[in-house]
Structure 1
Amino acid sequence: MIRDDRWTTVTPWFFPDELQAMEPIRQALPDDGLHRAWANFSFMSDTGHLHSVDLLVAGPGGLHLLELDTAPGLLRACEGIWLRTRGRNTKAADSVRATAETKARHLTAVLRHAAAGRFLSVPEVRGSAYLSDSREPVLLTGADARGVFGPDKPVEPSLPRVTSELLGQSAAVRADRPGRRLLRVLPALLDRAGMRPVEHWPRVGTWQLTAKPVSLTDRWQEFVAWSTVWDKAPCRVRVYAGGPTRAEADEAVLREYLLLRELDHPGIVTVDTLEHHPSGPVLMFHVEKKNLLRLDHILALHRERFTAASRAGMIRQIGEALAHAHAREIANGALSTRSVIGNSRPTKGEKVGDGWAEPVLQITDWAQAAAAPAGAPSPAMVARDLHGLAAVAQEICAGAPTDEFAGLPERLAVERDFTRLHPARQVRVLTGQLAANALAHAGDR
């Protein structure tokens, strides 16, 4: 741990570009006794997530958590998803600012719990993204640009400056300003809240995880992992939050594991093993290819490649997998484009990265199904799946009339012949109509 009066580096930076990105902030932080910063630490949230924090700054401007992004390339957003282009290559990722806001919300909670009974008022921690490489334009606008900052001396000044326009300003709302007493005891509060060094390359058994998760929800963090023993393709590792009681989390994930072992269908993700990690139980998913993407990322990156037939085919893949589950009295309960993953399907002569015109899709998140009572799913769960399938189809066919997709379950629900069908048959009927509507709007593309 490296300390000075204003700045504490809890864990030495692993990558040189991270250190270079933080050094200008460290030098610019006012030496007035009111500003303190902690860099590169981790903490356990009340939900059981183990979060890493790139930088926490406390001062008259409030409590600020910065999530560092050192990646180069032109940046734009599509429906909240960040698309970064470098040369001919474009990659999709969740908004760094959204990740920062999630961590900030969890850090606020643990700090307030640590301050309980001490007559301290802990303001809300604000999460922001810090893009340290500004050599190319950042084309974020509106809500996508909120809470995104760049260096104080940018090469391409397309972002507000992190120190002068964020950390160096006093908070406009008094409730956001930490009092002098809080600033004085904040180091002790962080220690009490469980601040610890970052484990740069965590492991689960013989598998090495990526330094940061590729996906984050309120219930789990998902990592890419490589075997340290065998020359295998990477797998996906989902580390579940331990929550208030680890025993309940273990039981819930065991139910999900057993459920996924039962749902043997090409449109449903295959689970390999159930493992354990200090922060919570772990499910490890079989991955045949490296270029696995969530469906919302696939749509943001490759929508222009889809034909009417490929859009209808994607809807059928998801619908057939959902019907398979309902035939076994299992409802998903939380179907969305975030809960579906896909691989490319290159034709002969195409590279693996070029086969996104007709992706292979699988439903991957069955947590709500595992949490539901045993037996046939309730009518509410069935209705939720029908609406989820229609909403996913609407996103696949963005631009088509909403009432022919998202509004279709309501129209079917008043038809007596439809309501008498088994839920699996209802899913198949809805799938057929959604796919037909996708084909009918071929001229709209």
Structure 2
Amino acid sequence: MRDDRWTTVTPSQYHFERAALEHIRRHLPDVEPYRAWSNFTFTADTGHVYEVDLLVAAPSGLYLIEIKSLRGRLANSGPNWIAGEPGSVRTFDNPLHLADLKAKRLRSLLDRQAAKQSVRLRIPYVQGAVFLSLPGLRVQLDDHQLHWVFGPESTPGQAAGPLPGIWSGLLDAPPRDERRQVSPELSKSLPQLLNGVGTGRSRRYEQVGSWKLDSKPFDVGPTWQDHLAEHAQLPHEHRRVRIYLT
């Protein structure tokens, strides 16, 4: 996909994330209504600041894609995901939950901008999705945890992975619902609508006193966001820091 259709709001600092974005970009065609925006932030009506890895407009819908470059084994215990290799394992929430929340709040802002800018087009539902970008990941999730979870596309001669491909299984798939479809007219209006929403550059971290907070919250509530924090002078010191929204 050419640069005029793929907007890199913030260049990624991470090799695996850059590779994941490039993997998707190689498959996106230079035709309407395909467009994409990578690594940006927006502020929701609630005051939450959200980081978006990738937003893609495709014929079948608008997709907010959360990228996870996980190694080793991925399983779940109830709603929690457990990923890693022996000696380095972490537990976290299914990232689809946060992706869906971001998608709903972004759609609300797009809908408002469409009315404000007199864009007489219906804003479709924005679907959250998760892209597990590393091909060697051993996925052992329960079936009900696999909804809207995708992996990389297989190369010729390579055995298919355990997950549907991000291109063949999602972005190139036929429309599931006509209410989700993206028309060429809407696609052409999206840059202006997103500009009105106020999308900005992604930030690596925020600083609160001596603590550097990861820009992506790992838990959110109606009036707060929790971030992982690292001490600026003592890199092995970590805390959970809660920001209350006003």
Shared fold, TM over 0.5: yes
Q: Which residue of 2 aligns with 1:222?
A: 226
Q: State the Cα deviation string for residues 90-122 of structure 1 (Å, max 9, x = none).
A: 321011111211111111111111112522210
How far apart, in 2, do the equivalents of 1:84 and 1:52 lie?
22
SS in 1 for 2:19: helix
Tell me by how many angstroms 1:88 deviates: 4.2
Tell me by how many angstroms 1:171 deviates: 1.7
> Which has the greater radius of gyration?
1
How far apart, in 2, do the equivalents of 1:166 and 1:41 lie?
21
Q: Does 1:162 align with 2:166?
A: yes
How far apart, in 2, do the equivalents of 1:226 and 1:150 lie?
31
Q: Which amino acid aligns with 1:38?
A: W
Query: Contact 2:211/2:232 (CA < 8 Å) preserved in 1?
Result: yes
SS in 2 for 1:8: strand
Q: Which amino acid aligns with 2:146?
A: A
Greater shift, 36-45 or 94-103, is seen at 94-103
Q: Which residue of 1 aligns with 2:110?
A: 111
SS in 2 for 1:107: helix
Query: Contact 1:54/1:67 (CA < 8 Å) preserved in 2?
Result: yes
Q: Which amino acid aligns with 1:136?
A: L
Q: 1:131 to 1:124 in 2, by over 3 A?
A: same
Query: Contact 2:103/2:127 (CA < 8 Å) preserved in 1?
Result: yes
SS in 2 for 1:116: helix
SS in 2 for 1:199: coil
Normalised TM-score (structure 1): 0.51
Q: Does 1:203 align with 2:207?
A: yes
How far apart, in 2, do the equivalents of 1:187 and 1:124 lie?
17
How far apart, in 2, do the equivalents of 1:77 and 1:236 lie?
23
Query: Contact 1:62/1:170 (CA < 8 Å) preserved in 2?
Result: no
Q: 1:12 to 1:221 in 2, by over 3 A?
A: same
Q: Please give the root-mean-square deviation of Cα atoms over the aligned residues, in Å.
A: 1.9
How far apart, in 1, do the equivalents of 2:4 and 2:180 lie?
23
Query: Contact 1:66/1:129 (CA < 8 Å) preserved in 2?
Result: yes
The one of the two structures with greater contact order (alpha-carbon pairs below 8 A, sep at least 6) is 2
Structure 2 gaps of 5+ residues are none
How far apart, in 1, do the equivalents of 2:52 and 2:17 lie?
12
Tell me by how many angstroms 1:83 deviates: 1.0
How far apart, in 1, do the equivalents of 2:37 and 2:55 lie?
5
How far apart, in 1, do the equivalents of 2:145 and 2:35 lie?
28
Q: Which residue of 2 aligns with 1:145?
A: 146
Pick from 162, 181, 186 the counterpart of residue 185 of structure 2: 181
Q: State the Cα deviation string for residues 169-212 of structure 1 (Å, max 9, x = none).
A: 23221110123221111000001001100011221233211242
Q: Which residue of 2 aligns with 1:239?
A: 243
Tell me by how many angstroms 1:232 deviates: 8.6
Q: 1:148 to 1:234 in 2, by over 3 A?
A: same
Q: Which amino acid aligns with 2:74?
A: L
Query: Contact 1:49/1:240 (CA < 8 Å) preserved in 2?
Result: no
Percentage of matched positions with identical amino acids: 36
How far apart, in 2, do the equivalents of 1:133 and 1:122 lie?
32
Q: Which residue of 1 aligns with 2:124?
A: 123
Q: Which amino acid aligns with 2:148?
A: G
Normalised TM-score (structure 2): 0.90
How far apart, in 2, do the equivalents of 1:85 and 1:26 lie?
27
Q: 1:139 to 1:206 in 2, by over 3 A?
A: same
How far apart, in 1, do the equivalents of 2:216 and 2:33 lie?
31
How far apart, in 2, do the equivalents of 1:182 and 1:61 lie?
13
How far apart, in 2, do the equivalents of 1:231 and 1:178 lie?
45
Tell me by how many angstroms 1:13 deviates: 0.5
How far apart, in 2, do the equivalents of 1:76 and 1:148 lie?
13
1:222-301 aligned within 5 A = 222-228=226-232, 233-242=237-246
How far apart, in 2, do the equivalents of 1:17 and 1:231 lie?
22
Q: State the Cα deviation string for residues 336-380 of structure 1 (Å, max 9, x = none).
A: xxxxxxxxxxxxxxxxxxxxxxxxxxxxxxxxxxxxxxxxxxxxx
Structure 1 gaps of 5+ residues are 243-445
